[in-house]
Amino acid sequence: MSGAAACGAAVKADAYGIGARDTVMHLGNAGCRDFFVATWAEAEVLMPWLGDASISVLHGVADEDIAHAVPSKARPVLNSARQVARWREAAPGRACDVMIDTGMNRLGLSPAEACSGLLDGLEIDTLMSHLACADEDIDVNERQRQLFTQAAATLRARRLSLANSAGICLGPDYAFDLTRPGLAIYGGIPRAEAADHISPVVTVEAQVIQRRKIAALETVGYNRMFTAGRETELAILNVGYADGYLRSFSGTGRARIGDVFLPVVGRVSMDLTAIAVDDVEIAEGDWVELDYDLSAASAQSGLSQYELLTTLGSRHERIWS
């Protein structure tokens, strides 16, 4: 869907919770040569696994970053006039990336600042901006694209980059030279156009610590949120909000065994979650799959697909297949 543009990858926040090192290795083997992280610490961890790929630091360069940034192979994404001046002084002639703010009002130079001469003489590898509402069909997307195109026409950069996962779905006019998907790489559906092209990446499983039976009118968990209407079989799973399975799944989440869905009952606690398992063959020590299809789990929990991934805790063993 990126057409002739190169397809990079946002691997910040431990590759959206998936595991950045293994993600970089797998995507590198698939041909990805452009990675994006938020901080210099994230970039440093990934350096041994990059090979000939590049990595850019989206937060730019602060005073305290200079000691790490100057010897690093990573490029800063310069977002402010102060960052531009800091990079000129610390690393004259070194390549950088530049962010132009075209309507997100988060990070980046205004188009007027960028075109004022502030960037003259900089070795800009990638000039980029970020779409605010690419998951919606509204005029601001085209307005941002036009502002970016106009600014880019007056600046010298090796490549232009605008589209995130949802932006790629807006069509080839948004692709420019390099796209920067994040969510879509990890199985998220940014727009309806992507639904038939993206498969789940993450399967989350938990182990049964105990199977137990409760009588009618007994309650489950903190604050007695669930009351059994009849005798009920429960399986207690070794997963909770410390693992990213948040309390918003209380009474709404599901586990599954084959084609059978098993409801979460009671409140999700820090390390434990109860599911109802009447008439299901499941015993202590067995593993069950949580219903973590991102679209479905988002509807169950009220969390965004991004949050569902990035909150996955470090206690999960990540097994690649």
Query: Which residue numbers are catalytic?
Result: 12, 222
Alpha helix ranges (H) inside 20-80 = 20-29, 40-46, 66-69
Q: Between β-strands 95-99 and 254-257, what pairing exists: parallel, antiparallel or unpaired?
A: unpaired
d(C-alpha 156, C-alpha 126), whole Å: 10
d(C-alpha 121, C-alpha 320), whole Å: 45
d(C-alpha 27, C-alpha 48), whole Å: 15
d(C-alpha 245, C-alpha 258), whole Å: 21
Q: Between β-strands 54-57 and 232-237, what pairing exists: parallel, antiparallel or unpaired?
A: unpaired
Q: Looking at the DSSP assignment, which residues form a beta bridge with residue 31? A: none
Give the dihedral sign, CA 144/150/153/156: negative
For 100-138, give the DSSP string.
B-SS--SSSB-HHHIIIIITTT-EEEEEE---SSTTS--
Give the dihedral sign, CA 247/248/251/257: negative
Distance between alpha carbon 151 and the CA centroid of its chain, in Å?
Answer: 28
CB of 234 within 8 A of CB of 277?
Answer: yes
